[in-house]
Amino acid sequence: MVSDMLVTKQNSSAAPGVSFGSFIGTERANDAPTRLLVGITSDQTCLVLKNRLRALKKAGFDITLVSSPGQRLTETAMTEGVSSVALPMLRGIAPLADMGSFFKLLWVIFQCHPEITDFSTPKAGFLGNLAAWVMRVPHRVYTLRGLKLEGTCGWKLRVLLWSERTACSCAHVVLCNSESLCNKAESLHLASTRKIRLLGNGSSNGVDIKRFSPGPSDVRHRFRITEDEPVLGFVGRLTRDKGLAELLIAFEQILLTHPRAWLLLVGWFDGSDDSLENRWRVHIATHPRIRHTGFVEDTVPYYRAMDLMILPTYREGFPNAVLEAAASGIPTIATECTGARDSVIDGITGYLVSPGNSEAISVAALNLLDDSRKRQKMGMAARQWAADLYDQRKVLGLAAEFYHSLLRDNSANWERSA
C-alpha cells in the first residue's frame, strides 16, 4: 500500500461540505502510482464504475473517487480499495449550489493534485472539467456516457448544450461510450473531431462473459411463474426517459395475444427530473402480470429467467443492461436512439424500433414470442457478439492502456490543444 508515501488529510482540513474518505494529500515519493481523480454527479453511477476502478487500480493508478454523498460511494470506495470524496452536487440546474460545488471541486483538486482527471455525467462533467482546467491538471478527460440534452427543448436545451460544450472545451480528450455518441457529439459541435475518442467498439465497462451466462435460476419459482409462461424483462432505472410508459402500454397489447405473459421490471424508481409519473408507479404496483423487484445487487438470475429483454430508451451512452442480456443468451428489443442502436444488431441479436413507439415494441416482442427458434438463434448470436467484442477484460484493458497513453504525451501539447 502507498500509505507510507502519501500524507493523509484529516477531515478538519476539508472545505465545508466536503467529506473525505481516506483522502490523499500532495506529498509523495517519486515512484508513487499515478494519481487519477474520477468524478461523477450521483453515487448511483458507482454501480457501473466498480470493475473499471478495480482494473485501473490493478494497472497502477492511485484513484480518488468523487461524487455526491451516498451509500454506494462509501461501499464502492471500500470494496475497490480507492479513496473517496463525498461532495454534494445537484443534478438539476441550480446556479448558487453549483457555484458552491465548483469551489469545493477546486479545493479537492488542489489537495489531491492529480496527474489525470476523468469527470463524467452532466453536472460533474461541467463543474469538474472546468475546475480541472482552472487548476491546469496535466491530463483532462471528459467521459461522455450519454447526452441528457437529447429530448429537451427551449432554454433548457440551450443551457445543457452550452454546459456540454464548456465541459468538452476544458478537456483534452472527450471519451465517448459508443460510435453513435461520437457522431452525435460531432454533429452538435460539442468538440473538435481530434478531441473525440472511442475505445475499441465502445462501452466503458464491457461484460463479464463468465458471470453473465445462460444457466439455472430460481427467479421464476420465487415469483410463481411457470416455465411455460413467457417473461419479458427490463433492467435499469424506472424513469420516463427509459421509455417505461411505452413499455407498459406495449405490454397491454402483448397480453391480448399472450395473456399468460409476464413483465419483470428489475430496477428502482429514480428521483431524477425524468422520474416516472405516479400513475405509472401505481399501475406497476397493482398490475397482476407485472413483477417489480426494486434495486437488485446481482441481476444474473433475473436475466436467466427472461425470454427476451426490452429497453425502449430515449437516450443512452451504451447500455450495460443490453450487454448483460446478450451475454446471458437472450435477445433484446432496443430503440434506434443514440447509444442504444450500437448495442443491438437489428434482426441478428434482437430488434431496433423507433423510440416512443409502443406499437413497434409490441410487434417486435410478439415476433419473438411466437417463434421460439428465432428467439433462441438470436440469443446465441447475441452471446457470441458480446463475447467477441465486449469481453470485460478486453474493454477494461483498452481503458487502462488509454490512461497510460495520456502520460506518454507531452503536457505542453495538451495545453496548446485544450
> What pLDDT does residue 94 have?
83
Please state, in angstroms and rounded to a whole number, the distance separating the CA atoms of residues 217 and 207.
19
Question: Nearest to residue 178, comparing CAs of 166, 196, 162?
Answer: 196
Contact 338, 186 (CB under 8 A): no
Please state, in angstroms and rounded to a whole number, the distance separating the CA atoms of residues 321 and 342.
13
> What pLDDT does residue 50 have?
87
Please state, in angstroms and rounded to a whole number, the distance separating the CA atoms of residues 139 and 131.
13
Please state, in angstroms and rounded to a whole number, the distance separating the CA atoms of residues 344 and 357.
17
Which DSSP string corresponds to 64-112?
Answer: EEEESS-HHHHHHHHHHT-EEEE----SS--HHHHHHHHHHHHHHHHHH
**For the chain, domain boundaries:** 11-206+393-417, 219-390
- Evaluate whether the domain defined by 219-390 bears CATH number 3.40.50.2000: yes
> What pLDDT does residue 410 have?
53
Please state, in angstroms and rounded to a whole number, the distance separating the CA atoms of residues 52 and 54.
5
Please state, in angstroms and rounded to a whole number, the distance separating the CA atoms of residues 50 and 301.
20
- Evaluate whether the domain defined by 11-206+393-417 bears CATH number 3.40.50.2000: yes
C-alpha cell at 136: 491546469
C-alpha cell at 52: 473499471
Which DSSP string corresponds to 276-318?
Answer: PPHHHHHHHHH-TTEEE-B--S--HHHHHT-SEEEE--S--S-
Q: What is the pTM of this model?
A: 0.88
- The partner residues of 265 in beta bridges, in order of sequence, read 234, 292
- The partner residues of 387 in beta bridges, in order of sequence, read none
Contact 56, 76 (CB under 8 A): no
Please state, in angstroms and rounded to a whole number, the distance separating the CA atoms of residues 412 and 418.
10
- The partner residues of 116 in beta bridges, in order of sequence, read 36, 139
Please state, in angstroms and rounded to a whole number, the distance separating the CA atoms of residues 253 and 216.
30
Residue 309 identity (one-letter amino acid): M
> What pLDDT does residue 22 have?
42
> What pLDDT does residue 17 have?
61
Q: Is 315 exposed, middle or buried (0-12, 13-18, 19+ CB in 10 A)?
A: buried
C-alpha cell at 247: 413499455
Which DSSP string corresponds to 153-167?
Answer: -HHHHHHHHHHHHHH
- The partner residues of 24 in beta bridges, in order of sequence, read 8
Please state, in angstroms and rounded to a whole number, the distance separating the CA atoms of residues 214 and 192.
42
Contact 124, 45 (CB under 8 A): no
Task: Report the largest interatomic distance among the alpha carbons of the chain, rounded to a whole angstrom.
Answer: 69
Please state, in angstroms and rounded to a whole number, the distance separating the CA atoms of residues 120 and 259.
43
- The partner residues of 20 in beta bridges, in order of sequence, read 85
Residue 301 identity (one-letter amino acid): P
Query: pLDDT per position in the chain (418 positions), as tens?
Result: 323 222 233 333 455 566 544 443 334 445 678 999 999 999 989 988 989 999 999 999 999 999 999 999 999 999 999 999 999 998 877 889 999 999 999 999 999 999 999 999 999 999 999 999 999 999 999 999 999 888 788 998 999 999 999 999 999 999 999 999 999 999 999 999 999 999 999 999 999 999 999 999 999 999 999 999 999 999 999 999 999 999 999 999 999 999 999 999 999 998 777 788 999 999 999 999 999 999 999 999 999 999 999 999 999 999 999 999 999 999 999 999 999 999 999 999 999 999 999 999 999 999 999 999 999 999 999 999 999 999 999 999 999 999 999 988 754 344 434 4
Beta strands in 99-200 (DSSP E): 116-120, 139-144, 173-176, 196-198
Kind and range of the H or E element at 232? strand 231-235
Task: Determine the Cα angle at 58 with ends 55 and 62, to 5°.
Answer: 100
Please state, in angstroms and rounded to a whole number, the distance separating the CA atoms of residues 365 and 355.
15
> What pLDDT does residue 118 have?
98
Q: Name the phi and psi angles at 265, rounded to 5.
A: -100, 110
Domains 11-206+393-417 and 219-390 share a fold: yes
C-alpha cell at 257: 395475444
